[in-house]
Structure 1
Amino acid sequence: MIRIPLLLLGAAVLAVSCQNPRNLEIIADQDRNMEAMDRENSRLRNERDMAMASATEKGEMLTLEQASATDLRNRVAAMEADIAERDAEVEALRGRFAGTSIGVERRGDWIVLNLPSALTFQSGSATLNTKGKSGLQKVATEMTDNYAGKTFWIEGHTDNDPIKRSKWESNLHLSAARALSVADFLIKSASVDSSAIRVAAHGEYSPKGDNASKEAKAGNRRVEIVILD
């Protein structure tokens, strides 16, 4: 009988205690602190997630950069190997034409054979001489044995001295006649496929040198055979 009032008294005391303004303020402060802690925890989790995402992205970017660098190195190595192979090809051709006065050079992807007119023609003439025919026979062997299936441009060139004592109307006509003579010999006498031959005439308009000296003029008087890839 005595315990019931005591329990009721305890409940009453608790109720009174909770209604105490100071206690209510403490509880409110605790609630605010809990909310602040929740917000801070949420912020920290977001920062952690963002940091992890950034690290993943940077890792992926680094992987891509490494792959790009590797690809670039491979491409450069392939280009260098191709250049070395082409240079070796030119050197090998020069060796096979040694002693013929036929020049060999590379222009980009093309190989150019240079037949100076001193080797192939008399002054003002478009008739091949004996040395010219001998040199062209070696050229034809290269064309049929090592460059079958390629296209060959045969291009005539002259210096800028005007025509005075020959039948040609101009240097352009002379360069055309010389290019045609070379093409005709390669097709008829050396069995080069005619469908692979193209002929062009430049006259004095595409010089190798400046025509300021006898040596430069001699270098400009030529027939070039351009081997296209």
Structure 2
Amino acid sequence: MPKAITEGFNDMHGRLLFIGLLAAATSMAGCDTGNKTNQQALLDENRELRDNLASTQKNLDDAEARSRQLEYELGEANSLVEQNSAQPVATAFGPGVEVFQSGGEMIVRIDGDVLFDSGRTSLKSAAKSTLKNIAAEVQRSFPNAKVRITGFTDTDPIKKSGFKSNYHLGFERAYAVGRFLDEQGFADESISYATFGPDVPLGSKSKSRRVEVSVITED
């Protein structure tokens, strides 16, 4: 509870107690007109203070409720900042490959142009070498981890390729990467797939086209 409000609240309680005692003493002292006038004035002030006290109590309750709400919103904001503050770093896997941490997952982000030709889902020859190195490092560092492979595309609509949508293209690219990792010794049941198609673009179309391998190290 804020200090200023608390001090005011305590002071009001003290005044109420004093006025109540003074009113009682005045009543016992006599019934002349002056005393009655003073007594009524004290009672009126007492009533006014009680009304103010009730209003102050409501304000305190509202302030506490708002404080709890702000604490919740701050926690949510901090959580969101933490999720979005992961900074990808270049790696020894070569150009177009970044690694960053998000929550309980290590994520390897691979540019789509490193893996595939435009509109294709067949891995490039050079991409297989890159994926072999990634697979070896993941298996060495996280031998029992599960992986989720997610495909992303740019926002250009599908025109020439045979895919119904960018979501289908994103999934097929994720699946191609997963099948290759399976060949490198990953258990089939440890691999899951997802696609976001064009829904999570990055700074440019080329960066938006990507596959992310999420190494899930926490249940």
TM over 0.5: yes
Deviation at 1:116, TM superposition (A): 0.5
RMSD, aligned α-carbons: 1.8
Q: Distance in 2 between matches of 1:144 and 1:168?
A: 33
Deviation at 1:223, TM superposition (A): 0.3
Give the equivalent residue in structure 1 for 2:129.
134
Give the equivalent residue in structure 2 for 1:198.
192
Q: What are the Cα deviations for residues 149-207 of structure 1, in whole angstroms up to 9, with x where unaligned?
A: 1111100000110001111111000001000000001102x111212111111111122
Residue 119 of structure 1 aligns to a residue whose secondary structure is helix
Tell me which structure has the larger Cα radius of gyration.
Answer: 1
Residue 154 of structure 2 aligns to a residue whose secondary structure is coil
Q: Distance in 2 between matches of 1:116 and 1:146?
A: 22
Q: Does 1:217 align with 2:205?
A: yes
Residue 206 of structure 1 aligns to a residue whose secondary structure is coil
Question: Aligned letter for 1:148?
Answer: P
Stretches of structure 2 that go unaligned for 5 or more consecutive residues are 1-85
Give the equivalent residue in structure 2 for 1:162.
157
Q: Distance in 2 between matches of 1:164 and 1:139?
A: 32
Contact 2:157 2:166 in 1 (8 A): yes
Shift in alpha-carbon separation, 1:134–1:100, aligned structure 2, 3 A: farther
Q: Distance in 1 between matches of 2:212 and 2:194?
A: 10
Q: What are the Cα deviations for residues 67-110 of structure 1, in whole angstroms up to 9, with x where unaligned?
A: xxxxxxxxxxxxxxxxxxxx9xx87xx5442x342111111222
Q: Distance in 2 between matches of 1:205 and 1:148?
A: 32
Residue 160 of structure 1 aligns to a residue whose secondary structure is coil
Residue 159 of structure 1 aligns to a residue whose secondary structure is coil
Contact 1:150 1:196 in 2 (8 A): yes
Identical aligned pairs, as a percentage?
31
Give the equivalent residue in structure 2 for 1:113.
108
Give the equivalent residue in structure 1 for 2:97.
102
Deviation at 1:144, TM superposition (A): 1.5
Q: Distance in 1 between matches of 2:156 and 2:135?
A: 31
Please identify which structure carries the higher helix content: 1
User: How does 1:1-229 map onto structure 2 within 5 Å?
Assistant: 94-97=90-93, 99-188=94-183, 190-209=184-203, 216-229=204-217
TM-score normalised by structure 1 residue count: 0.54
Q: Distance in 2 between matches of 1:146 and 1:196?
A: 15
Contact 1:120 1:129 in 2 (8 A): yes
Give the equivalent residue in structure 1 for 2:58.
none
Question: Aligned letter for 2:122?
Answer: T
TM-score normalised by structure 2 residue count: 0.56
Residue 152 of structure 1 aligns to a residue whose secondary structure is strand
Question: Aligned letter for 1:134?
Answer: S
Deviation at 1:208, TM superposition (A): 2.5
Contact 1:109 1:228 in 2 (8 A): yes
Flag as ranges the 4+ runs of structure 1 deviating above 4 A.
Answer: none
Give the equivalent residue in structure 2 for 1:20.
none
Question: Aligned letter for 1:139?
Answer: I
Give the equivalent residue in structure 2 for 1:55.
none
Stretches of structure 1 that go unaligned for 5 or more consecutive residues are 1-86, 210-215
